[in-house]
Amino acid sequence: MKNKKDKITFKRAYAANMRAMKLMYSLYPQMVSSSISLAVWNSLTPYIGIYLSALIVEELSGGRDTDRLIKLVLVTLAVSVAISLVTVFLNRWKNTQHSGDRWIKFEHIISQKMLNTDYANLADTKTSEMLSTIRQNNNGGGWGLNMVLYNAEAMLSSLFTIAGGLSLTVSLFLTRVPDGAGSLSLLDNPFVVIGVIALMLAITLVAPMITNKAEGYLARHSGDHNLGNRLFGHFGFLGYNTDISEDVRIYRQDIISEGYNRDKKSTFSSDGVFAHLARGPMGLLAAAGAAVSVIFTGIVYMFVCLKSMAGAFGLGSVTQYIASVTKLSGGISSLVVELGRMFNNTPFLELIYEFLDIPDNMYKGSLTVEKRRDRSYQVEFKNVSFKYPGSNTYALKNVSMKFEIGKRLAVVGMNGSGKTTFIMLLCRLYDPTEGEILLNGIDIRKYNYREYMDIFSVVFQDFKLLPQRLGENVAGRVSYDRELATDCLEKAGFGDRLEKLKDGIDTYLYKDSSKDGVNISGGEAQKIAIARALYKDAPFIILDEPTAALDPIAEAEIYSKFDEIVGDKTAIYISHRLSSCKFCDEILVFDQGSVIQQGTHSELVSNTTGKYHELWNAQAQYYTEQ
């Protein structure tokens, strides 16, 4: 039982759904307009056919005027052709606007928030859990934004179906039985008419209310559905995951999967939660709803046929009334069902709004970052300290230093010493908790956020390449300078491999998007990532331990090659190993969030009591060739 504060009122449901419709219309007006137009058109046009068919049947059973019949048939054919043409046009319009699938369009709404929100929000565990739940709701039960447009189409269709049905049904209750009909004259009694209408309406409302109650079980058990999907997505497809195929074979993880897949009590199995619901309340409610619908059909046929037998109208009107009353009832039932879905979908929409409304507290700035051909950008850290959101421990403490333009800077230290945090603050993924970072003497928070980030090219430790064409990966866009992309790949040491690729820079990486895609090694991926950093041609270029999985000698080779091609850029190398430090102009040694040493390799290694000397001697056996 929900608390009173959790009770979904019509006002709350309406507000949630209207916000969704406004959001979708602002982004995809043609998609919304085409969907609504087709729904309205399809709900009204059947009544034209019903009305014209009734006139033809009436004429055939009555006067049988040949000329009138010919006219009615021709009009019916002409109207049918016109309706078909308009329907084809509306369908084509809708299909064109829905190309790429609604799911992708709704995913775009979520992705835009992810791209534009503060990085700190994305790093928050609560945000990650919220985002995962939103996607699970959509993929599993179709709840959320995906439901709204379908719901709106169905509701509008229902409303216009009701309007059309009423226009052809009102006369059924107003047409009087002629005198001399005997006991059937009772059908004209206002109380009988009102009673029949009330009974029809009651049955019409009861059936969808039962359906809504049944569907409510699905909404309440969405958490079970999401968990079941996640488990099935893992265990059901474990054998397809080539990244862990070695572990699966060595440790026989297929046995675990088989145990799950054969478990009769798992979510979607024969003894699972949904099977119990289907055999229990959901199944009973569904059966009850179907039974009530049959009762309604029987009442409609009985009332219409009795009035026709009494002489109130002819055979043509019988056809019209039965068809229109049935559609009218269907429209009312559908409206009630969709209202129920609108209510059930409200909490799922509100979760999406909670995500979309996550506040962005980072000041984005407005100053333009000067485009300097001499790449003369000076960066200074002044007493910078930082705590990650929700933590009481400083990841960085009182860091002060300056970058010299065009120099090579190494940042070293043990894991967890603050190296990556230092880079995140430099790139303004986070703002300092204390102190300030200056660009050419101005606090970086005052600069336009996007323009400031554009002065950095970074190869992160956990960089990702996309299953797209090689050139698109390098350039980060579909339209790009092919010669420049090729040159960057060659400079990054990928030239030999590039020559062997049949489609060159048009080759797809991996096989996700193309069966002709190529799989690449970790070292090749690193070279492509470096080429991507070169293509951006930013004045600052940073390598944040992208080679940590390599042995120290291979890492030193990549760093030395990279040092040759960065030119006049300011280069920063982040590593917990020291094999790349010897060629750098200056080295920062981090320990427990603080810079404890700063100087050249020769200066630091000669200080026998310093941390750098300790690290150097501890690692020398790994990066000194015998």
CATH number, domain 379-455+538-623, options 3.40.640.10, 1.20.1440.60, 3.40.50.300, 3.30.930.10 = 3.40.50.300
pTM passes above 0.75: no
- Among 123-137, 299-313, 596-610, the range of highest mean pLDDT: 596-610
| CA distance linking residue 324 with residue 329, whole number of Å | 8
| CA distance linking residue 96 with residue 29, whole number of Å | 13
CA distances from 18 to 249, 338, 346, 549 (A): 52, 14, 11, 51
Measuring CA to CA, which residue among 457, 454, 420 is closest to residue 570? 457
Q: Span 203-212, mean pLDDT?
A: 69
Per-residue pLDDT tens digits for 454-488? 889 998 888 889 889 999 999 988 899 999 999 99
What pLDDT sits at residue 6? Answer: 67
**Residue 410, CA atoms < 13 Å, CB-side half-sphere:** 27
* Residue 397 confidence class, pLDDT cut points 50, 70, 90: very high
DSSP state of 1: -
| CA distance linking residue 437 with residue 383, whole number of Å | 9
Per-residue pLDDT tens digits for 29-88? 888 888 889 888 988 888 888 788 878 877 777 777 788 888 888 988 998 899 999 999
Which carries the bigger pLDDT value, residue 19 or residue 251?
19
Q: Are 470 and 507 in contact (CB under 8 A)?
A: yes
What pLDDT sits at residue 420? Answer: 86
Sign, CA dihedral 233-237-243-247, equals positive
Burial of 173 (0-12, 13-18, 19+ CB in 10 A): middle
DSSP state of 347: H
Q: Are 508 and 471 in contact (CB under 8 A)?
A: no
What pLDDT sits at residue 485? Answer: 94
CATH number, domain 7-175+190-220+252-265+273-356, options 1.20.1560, 3.10.620, 2.50.20, 1.25.40 = 1.20.1560
Helix (H, G, I), strand (E, B) or coil at 49: helix
What pLDDT sits at residue 15? Answer: 92
Question: 């090694």: which residue's tokens?
Answer: 521
Which carries the bigger pLDDT value, residue 224 or residue 26?
26
Question: What long-range pairs does 83-88 form, CB within 8 A, spacing at least 24?
Answer: 83/45, 83/48, 83/49, 86/41, 87/38, 87/41, 87/42, 87/45
Which carries the bigger pLDDT value, residue 100 or residue 588?
588
- Residue 597: in which H helix or E strand, if any? strand 594-599
Q: Span 161-181, mean pLDDT?
A: 78
What pLDDT sits at residue 233? Answer: 65
| CA distance linking residue 521 with residue 125, whole number of Å | 31
Round to the nearest angstrom and report the end-to-end CA distance of the chain: 74
CA distances from 168 to 57, 130, 187, 322 (A): 16, 49, 19, 10
Return mean pLDDT, the chain: 81
Per-residue pLDDT tens digits for 257-270? 776 667 666 666 66
Residue 385 above 90 pLDDT?
Answer: yes
Q: Are 292 and 208 in contact (CB under 8 A)?
A: no
Per-residue pLDDT tens digits for 411-435? 888 888 888 899 999 999 999 999 9
Domains in the chain: boundaries: 7-175+190-220+252-265+273-356, 379-455+538-623
Residue 18 above 80 pLDDT?
Answer: yes
